[in-house]
Amino acid sequence: MLYLIGVGLSNYDVTMEGLEACRRCKQLYAEAYTSNLTEEKLKDLSKILEKEIDQLGRTDLEENAKILINQAAKEDIGLLINGDPLIATTHKTLLMEASASGVGTKVIHSTSILSVSMGESGLDFYRIGPVCTIANWSEHYHPISFYETIKGNMDHNLHSIMLLDYDYERQSTMPIEKVAFILSEAEEHYKKKIISEDTKFLVLNNIGTENGKIKLYTFAKLKTAKIKGMNTIILLAKLSNLEEEWISKIEKA
Ligand SMILES: C[S@@+](CC[C@H](N)C(=O)[O-])C[C@H]1O[C@@H](n2cnc3c(N)ncnc32)[C@H](O)[C@@H]1O
């Protein structure tokens, strides 16, 4: 059996069911390339469980998934995933591949950046539109289709949650000033204007952990923001009175 076990955002978000599954598994792996599953968090878990946890890289999961699935055909193994296991396309693909090979699977959910960011931002979750990811640009890779999502959301007066690519080497999401640059370039490309210098963004930094912070930025300020760690950005549509009240508290804090 292949267990996908969500370990949530904070160091202590694994559910009782998750802990029980970890104990049952003959071998535990951790996926630390789509999100920040820190050494400290893994050490804590390993200590509680009195078990070793082996870290897997992108190729182990995406290209060599068959090796993992073959092992799960013979014994119970668990893959620890930051946040909720199913809020990442890679893990859905793995589940489907395992099922296609006749291997049993079980998903154990936990807190996710999606639920925590909606809750902590104080925004009405009915007013959050489709989510997008802003990928880190490299020399020959400039994806900007996310812009269609945020433009559609703005047209319907919905807020946009923008996840950012995780950079394993830096143990951090891509730099905020680069996000601002990509947003400007995307507007230029689509020849549209939904963002002005005064447009407001919430930056949720290491949210759901003991160092979590939320800060309001205008686009002008976002361009020079330097915020290390895990970041998610919300482009704000027009706020309701209640949302306005909550966000003004964030602003004062
Ligand atoms: C592919 S998503 C993985 C989501 C994860 N499986 C979950 O359910 O939370 C990874 C992105 O979520 C965002 N993220 C994850 N943890 C975060 C945190 N604690 N604070 C802010 N953003 C976070 C970052 O933008 C990061 O690159």
Nearest residue CA, atom 5 of ligand 1?
83
Contacts for 16 with CB less than 8 Å, ≥ 6 apart: none
| Whether residue 48 is found in the same domain as residue 163 | no
Gap from CA of 112 to ligand 1 centroid (Å): 7
Distance between Cα 105 and ligand 1 center (Å): 23
Same-domain check for residues 82 and 127: no
Cβ–ligand 1 distance for 34 under 6 Å, the answer yes
217 lines ligand 1 (CB under 6 A): no
- The answer to whether residues 79 and 204 belong to one domain is no
Domains in the chain, number: 2
CATH number at residue 85: 3.40.1010.10
- Give me the pLDDT at residue 59, please: 81
Length of the chain: 253
203 lines ligand 1 (CB under 6 A): no
One domain, residues 161 and 192:
yes
* Separation of alpha carbons 253 and 242, rounded Å: 17
In this structure, are 142 and 246 located in the same domain?
Answer: yes
Which of 52, 77, 108 lies at the terminal end of a domain, its last residue? 108
Last residue of a domain, one of 108, 134, 164: 108
Q: Are residues 132 and 187 in the same domain?
A: yes
CATH number assigned to the domain comprising residue 211: 3.30.950.10
Note whether 124 and 16 are same-domain residues: no
- Give 127-142 pLDDT, tens digit per residue: 999 999 999 998 889 9
In the prediction, which pLDDT does 16 show?
96
pLDDT value for 90:
84
- Per the CB < 8 A criterion, the answer to whether 58 and 10 are in contact is no
Q: Where does a domain end: 108, 124, 154? A: 108
The terminus-to-terminus CA distance of the chain in angstroms comes to 47
Q: How far is CA 173 from CA 41, 133, 182, 184, in A?
A: 18, 11, 14, 19
Give yes or no for residue 88 CB within 6 A of ligand 1: yes
Binding site for S-adenosyl-L-methionine, residues? 9, 84, 87, 112-113, 164
Q: Are residues 156 and 72 in the same domain?
A: no
Does residue 204 have its Cβ closer than 6 Å to ligand 1? yes
Query: Are 86 and 142 contained in the same domain?
Result: no
Q: Are residues 151 and 97 in the same domain?
A: no
Tell me the average pLDDT across 166-192: 92
Q: Is the CB of 227 under 6 A from ligand 1?
A: no
CA angle, 168 then 200 then 152, to 5°: 80
Q: Which of 218, 216, 197, 219 is nearest to 205 (CA)?
A: 216
pLDDT score recorded for residue 253: 78
pLDDT of residue 65: 87
Ligand 1 centroid, distance to 36 Cα (angstroms): 8
Same domain, 153 and 100: no
Q: How confident is the model at residue 250 (pLDDT cuts 50, 70, 90)?
A: confident
Kindly report, residue by residue over 21-65, the tens digit of the pLDDT.
999 999 999 998 788 888 889 999 999 999 999 998 878 877 888
What is the per-residue pLDDT for 79? 96
Q: What number is the average pLDDT over the span 216-243?
A: 96
Dist. CA 78 → ligand 1 center (Å): 20
The confidence score (pLDDT) of residue 36 equals: 83
Instruction: Tell me if ipTM is over 0.95.
Output: yes
172 shares a domain with 95: no
Task: Give the span between the Cα atoms of 109 and 15, in whole angstroms.
Answer: 8
Domain range for 143 is 113-252
83 lines ligand 1 (CB under 6 A): yes
